[in-house]
Amino acid sequence: MKNRLNQEKLISIILRYSILILFGLGDLFIFYKLFTIPTIKIVAYFLSMFYPLTTLNNTIMFNSIIIELIPACIAGSAYYLLLILNLSTPNIKIARRLISIALSFVILLLFNSFRIVLLSMISNSYYFNEIHLVFWYFITTLFVILTWILTIRIFKIESIPFYTDIKTIYSLGR
């Protein structure tokens, strides 16, 4: 019985980290493929409440302003970080894990879209570059951390990413 449980734990670790490796391949293209269009649609929707606009591919034009949403705007690495935190945390049932991933991705999608709308509205500001960098380096990182903390609380996650897996692997080797 104990041997079977150990085998299941090891298979879980191998499977979760294999998925992480697969999602990380190819410059995170999976995240950009999944989240570019929804981000553009949400941003365009909210901006259209204030300005008449036109969208063309990854570009939104309004009020003589042209905004091109490049991959960095989509924040693929932030989605990947949330996925890493989720999949490197053991002892979460599959359905619960999928729901927690979906919830954290939706929260990030909405926050990121709001960030782009806000930055778009102040794009002609003298302080735009400084505000943009503050969002890029600090606020988005803080938001990813807060999203993970919220996920931990909502789903009552008690395991620690990476650490619990390392501890498990160490105990299996004994």
In SS3 terms, 105-139 reads as HHHHHHHHHHHHHHHHHCCCCCCHHHHHHHHHHHH
**Is the residue at 56 inside a domain?**
no
The answer, yes or no, to whether residue 65 has pLDDT greater than 90, is: no
pLDDT digits (tens, 9 = 90+) for 13-56: 899 999 999 999 888 999 999 999 999 999 999 999 999 999 99
The mean pLDDT value for 77-82 works out to 95
**Is the residue at 99 inside a domain?**
yes
Task: For residue 35, give the DSSP letter.
Answer: H
**Is the residue at 149 inside a domain?**
yes
**Is the residue at 46 inside a domain?**
no
Residue 135 lies in domain: 2-34+73-172
pLDDT computed for residue 168 by the predictor: 82
Average pLDDT, the chain: 91
Q: How far apart are CA 11 and CA 69, in angstroms?
A: 39
Confidence band of 166 (pLDDT split at 50, 70, 90): confident
pLDDT computed for residue 165 by the predictor: 84
Q: How far apart are CA 134 and CA 131, in angstroms?
A: 5
Counting the structural domains of the chain, the total is: 1
pLDDT computed for residue 22 by the predictor: 93
pLDDT computed for residue 1 by the predictor: 63
**Is the residue at 108 inside a domain?**
yes
The answer, yes or no, to whether residue 130 has pLDDT greater than 80, is: yes
Contact status, residue 38 vs residue 109, Cβ threshold 8 Å: yes
What kind and span of H or E run contains 152?
helix 140-154
Contact status, residue 89 vs residue 159, Cβ threshold 8 Å: yes
